[in-house]
Chain A
């Protein structure tokens, strides 16, 4: 994909706005306020502020190295910020409420020699569960992810997908109020990905707050009540999917047909275009009337289809990240 034109010059800072309470009467399970973290001279997280409303799913979106994992580790008190404040379930530090949080780190890890059941028992105990509660929860969760038959097997005999499911249920075993998942979908096959999405939605329906990081837009678009886009440690934008889209006045027009497609790039109101023989994808401003655009196009080509869309999250994401880098959008999307 190759973007050209004016959209690429947008200043990302324009989209950064302070968190606001976006739903009245909803508590905040997690709040980051001006959080900053440096590793030597490298600024990993830069004055990052965000709120996760209780009982909702919040997605951290960002390219690799954006500072998602660092932010999550600071939320978990595994690392400490150099500046700024973090509030987790009403406490200054996650340490105070560790047993009320479920955490799935990006780097998965289990004891290879331990059995599935022993693993869950061990993590349950570390999360302060009573033996009776563990006995009650383990079979149910194993059944939920179809691992009952494997309960007595050592972890090393499980496939990678099974291990991921095991790790996920060990995260939610103790019925946490806040679940933090770092890249939960990486390496999952489509079936397990659907299962995980279902489990995450179930958690939300039970009133659990879910925060997860990803760079896969479809998952974020489908699951999140609220999104925050991060790049180079800074927040680019946050809000609900609708709120984010509403900030982008552009629309995408896709045209198929035959004729002189190159001329379409110069139609009034077109901000950028991608054109190949018989196909054009145009970004146009909100003020452009689709009917006029279609008429203008028909002067150069024979139309076989004409469709108007809002930009996808993927497009918004790529555009914001590139304008934040100060380089033309498109290279990465092409890559």
Chain B
């Protein structure tokens, strides 16, 4: 046991000292925080920058829409002092040809930059059942500006329809009655008002992604370290002091310690970050507990499999191609996270929970998305996971014993099976 601890400690220290670890443990959370707070800050800065006013020419063939359009522009300008619009009414011509000529002229002005946009509201717009489209001609593709103008067009056409109705309808009254109904979303567990819906929605994914990064990153580290020891021939010296099983156990234990440290760092950043932003209902001790519960067996399973693969190969390239199916399998929950977190109790989600290498990722998604995941499923998946850990450690230990001293061509899957049987 002492020897396992000695190996584990060396593995831990040597890994924690590497640049990759420093990068993933410190820069990754900084990057995440940077994305959360930084994007807001950048958006703030961007919003404060004052753009020159945008001239929008409006030709109202329906009649009655232009006035409301102007009102809407005024309302918008009040709320967005850095993004002002100026409305330029265009008189409607006597014929379609004349109107078309006006549109062409406006298009030219848009291209030349004299106008930001040109809006043409056809007469047919008054009839809700008519086949028609309002036109918005512009050069750039700013979404915010499109939304603003689109809204103004909607409101002004609606107003024109109200006015032309028989008998006419009181637009202001209707608008007052249509005012937004506020909905307060309260988290049942923490009794706190949810402020950031998007953050809550993304949480299951964030938790799974953290688990995924920690597991993959570090078990890949184990793969590399096994191959390095093999290619630098240290392994035989080690085997004169410890048994292959002790060596493998020590290496895996060392890496579990690295993974645990990484998760502690990330969880603390997440926990205190969420506290600081009044989003403590997102990173809860409940979720962190499950994360730890699934991390340990999930990581052990992945490590054992990769240690086996590493010991059988001589180059990182061989090892990566041998581990490719495994890596593909773990990407599966990444691709399906949306489906799983939208419907955590669906048959697909439950079925995916019982595929051992991806169990931790799927279960973390489900538990974070729905705290009512049945306890029997949690117990059953954990039991299955631990059972696979024992099988994998046993098989990997046998492959390790033979593979670690084998040089040359990597074994075929069939040879691997033979190693497991004969070791």
Contact = CB atoms under 8 A, between A and B. Distances in A.
Contacts of A99: 241
B237 A123 contact: yes
A99 B240 CA distance: 9
A103 B14 CA distance: 24
B234 interface: yes
Q: Which of B234, B236, B239, B240 has the most CB of A within 10 A?
A: B240
Nearest to A122: B10
Contacts of B242: 98, 126
A111 B10 CA distance: 11
A104 to B, nearest CB: 8
B12 to A, nearest CB: 13
B68 interface: no
Nearest to B6: A125
A108 B238 CA distance: 11
A153 interface: no
Contacts of A167: 237
A128 B2 contact: yes
- Range class of the A interface residue count: 20 to 34
A132 interface: no
B232 interface: yes
Contacts of B239: 76, 78
A109 interface: yes
A115 to B, nearest CB: 12
Given A78-B405, A79-B405, A109-B232, A103 B237 contact: yes
Contacts of B405: 73, 78-79
B241 A109 contact: no
B233 interface: yes
Contacts of B171: none
B3 interface: yes
Interface string B222-244: 00000001001111111111110
A110 B241 contact: no
Interface string B148-166: 0000000000000000000
Nearest to B234: A109
Interface string A83-95: 0000000000001
A108 B233 contact: yes
A109 B228 CA distance: 10
Contact of B233 (A79, A109, A122, A128): A109
Nearest to A77: B243
A297 to B, nearest CB: 54
B232 A126 contact: no
B236 A109 contact: yes
A114 B9 CA distance: 14
Contact of B234 (A78, A95, A101, A110): A110
A37 interface: no
B235 A109 contact: yes
Contacts of A77: 243
A123 B232 contact: no
B7 interface: yes
Contact of A98 (B10, B236, B241): B241
Contact of A170 (B232, B235, B237, B243): B237
B236 A126 contact: no
Interface in A100-146: 101, 103-105, 107-114, 122-123, 125-128
Interface of A: 73, 76-79, 95, 98-99, 101, 103-105, 107-114, 122-123, 125-128, 167, 170
- Top 8 closest pairs, chain A to chain B, by CB: A109-B233, A103-B240, A109-B234, A107-B233, A105-B236, A126-B241, A125-B6, A109-B232
13 contacts: A76-B240, A78-B240, A79-B405, A95-B243, A98-B240, A105-B240, A107-B236, A112-B232, A114-B14, A126-B3, A126-B241, A126-B242, A167-B237
